[in-house]
Chains A and B, each alone.
Chain A
Amino acid sequence: MTANVLLMNLTHLNDFTTQVRRDIVRMVHQVNSGHPGGSLGCTEFLVALYQEIMERKEEFDMDGIGEDLFFLSNGHISPLFYSVLARSGYFPVSELVTFRKIDSRLQGHPTTHEGLPGVRVASGSLGQGLSVAVGAAEAKKLNKDNHLIYSLHGDGELQEGQNWEAIMYASAKNIDNLIATVDYNGQQIDGSTDQVLSLGNLKAKFEAFDWTVVSIEKGNDLKSIIEGLEKAKSLTGKGKPVAVLLHTVMGNGVDFMMHTHAWHGKAPNDEQLQSALEQNPETLGDY
């Protein structure tokens, strides 16, 4: 990619990211529930993934043969997922207004049950997504489909033991078409991950399980994310699964939500919403 093209793309991605942030805070505010902190912290990542990194087919079908697939394991950041899916063309942006309301396809946590295009498995009960991603990676290999599987996990979520079953399996069975990203923000509901149950040296843990690890230190910087994910892609197909440790700031882009676990699962009030929206001006049109 030439410098100019990258610059143009970055401008577009930046606008996209700002609009997604507006969507997140508006969605959570209108139903006075949901999870803005983790959603905002991973906004740049998911926008980069869907708009820049993944090879995707325009139409959604469950099997997803011939395209890259993404699995959201930490399903509580559904506002982000829904906004990116809608603005990537999977369903009308206007449907975002139904988030968490009765008779909606946009359930509190993502599900296939209501037939929302773009979602391939339910998530919300934590720790299950990596196993599903591994299964989908195995299916890709059986189908001789060279596309990749991406997944996203909370760092606190790694306290669930099933992850480590899947981490052990993925390296033992050479699942090298998988890039699993950890939202490494150091926060969870009851406090910092260090306070609640320390993850220790996460990089060393993944490496001890024989994964290849890519660290993205600036996990809220689009350029760093794209470079990191491109590097991760280049490391696939070499016999090992790839983990991306994405260092993020929970609540990124809304100053009063940053650097605290307080906004993990709390909606802003009217005044706070105004402040958040002023910090993130409308770019692509509100829903």
Chain B
Amino acid sequence: MNYINQGSKDTRSGYGDAMTELGRSNPNVVALCADLVGSLKIQPFIDENPERFFQVGIAEANMMGIAAGLTIGGKIPFTGTFANFSTGRVYDQIRQSIAYSGKNVKICASHAGITLGEDGATHQILEDIGMMKMLPHMVVINPCDYNQTKAATLAIADYDGPVYLRFGRPVVPNFTEAGGTFEIGKALLLEEGTDVTLVATGHLVWEALLAADELANKGISAEVINIHTIKPLDEEAILKSVAKTGCLVSCEEHNYLGGLGESISRVLVENHPVPQEFVATKDTFGESGTPAQLMKKYGLDSTAIVAAAEKVLQRK
């Protein structure tokens, strides 16, 4: 593998550290939080910029509206709560007051997906990518590690428009370049290969790299693409890869209905139909457990990706 773990960290700390930097570099950036400051790692931002922090309490709908209002006057609001409460709980508020109104709000969502772990299915949202990508003009980003979450947080401050930024709770390998640039909508080719394309987002990018190693041991050459931006989707990168490999596995910590995989399927059927397998949850809720246990049980780890790759190769 061309990548090494520089020391595992949680992606949400990438968000918090980037907010600290934004607090110093961009006077228009303001932060809102719904009683989850510790979870979102934004205490340093608050300490340095108390007047630019809005603690709204356990009232997420109000938080989304206040964020929309803060843009009127030139502020760049970053809302922070768990992914579940950042999307499903406040979908209509986001739809009308932010997306349809074209407000420059950054909806920053921690504890996304099944790796939230022991709190269980009430908090493990596996439908958020679908909900958010369906909103016209909403940008949807799911970075893979600490470094990329930090870079993405910094980048979206410079983008004018609503963004959904999805990251997680657990400590995971940190393997992308520290201080690297982040280009919204630009896929990253991590490993070149010729037999099968693995397109992964979020925590599953590292699993895809592990899977590529396992596949190499079996004599299968896998190409690994990190799709940090699910919308707008880098269609060119996907089509270029499948033109070479002729098959694809999509990997995401999300329901296969409405997620990254379905977005890719649309691109393939419209342009270059090839077999595709989905590493994703299969129309199910999660449950309590450790992140590793849940990734294994719900078929989201490198073993599941290897199996999906072998299956899709047989369909070529």
Q: Which residues from chain A sit less than 8 Å from chain B, CB to CB? A: 62-65, 69, 71, 111-113, 120-125, 128-140, 142-143, 145, 161-162, 165-166, 168-169, 172-173
Whether A136 lies near B52 (C-beta < 8 A) is no
Choice from B51, B57, B64 contacting A142 with Cβ under 8 Å: B51
Given that A139-B72, A140-B73, A165-B61 are known contacts, is A122 also in contact with B100, CB under 8 Å in the complex?
yes
Q: Are A121 and B101 in contact (CB under 8 A)?
A: yes
Asked if A63 and B74 sit within 8 Å, CB to CB, the answer is yes
Cα distance A111–B97 in the bound complex, in angstroms: 10
Question: Closest approach, in angstroms, between the C-beta of A139 and any C-beta of chain B?
Answer: 3
Min C-beta distance of B146 to chain A, whole Å: 30
B257 at the interface (CB under 8 A from A): no
The contact string, 1 if C-beta is below 8 Å from chain A, for chain B 42-76, is 00000000011010110101111111111111110
> Could you tell me if B73 and A121 are in contact, using CB atoms closer than 8 angstroms?
no
B263 at the interface (CB under 8 A from A): no
Do the beta carbons of B96 and A143 come within 8 Å of each other? no
> Which of A122, A132, A165 counts the most B-chain CB atoms under 10 A from its CB?
A132
Do A124 and B96 touch across chains, with their CB atoms under 8 A apart? yes
Find out whether the CB atom of A162 lies under 8 angstroms from the CB atom of B61. Answer: yes
Please tell me the number of chain B residues within 8 Å of chain A, measured between CB atoms. Answer: 32
> Considering the chains assembled together, what is the distance between the CA atoms of A135 and B110 in angstroms?
23
B135 to chain A, nearest CB (A): 13
Find out whether the CB atom of B72 lies under 8 angstroms from the CB atom of A168.
no
Selected from A113, A124, A145, A161, the residue in CB contact (under 8 A) with B73 is A145
Residue of B nearest to A111 (CB): B100
Q: Which of B29-53 contact A (CB under 8 A)?
A: 30, 51-52
By a CB distance below 8 angstroms, the chain B residues around A64 are 72-73
Q: Kindly list chain A residues whose C-beta atoms are within 8 Å of the C-beta of B70.
A: 135-136, 138-139
Chain A: CB-nearest residue to B70: A135
The reply to whether B30 and A134 form a contact with Cβ atoms under 8 Å apart is: no
Bound state CA distance, A123 and B92, in angstroms? 11
Contact B72 A131 (CB under 8 A): no
Q: Nearest Cβ in chain B — how far from A282, in angstroms?
A: 35
B residues in contact with A166, CB < 8 Å: 62, 65-66
- 18 pairs from A and B in contact (CB 8 Å cutoff): A62-B72, A63-B73, A65-B73, A71-B69, A111-B101, A125-B95, A128-B61, A131-B68, A134-B69, A135-B71, A137-B69, A139-B72, A139-B74, A168-B59, A169-B56, A169-B57, A169-B59, A172-B57
CA distance A142 to B50 in the complex (A): 11
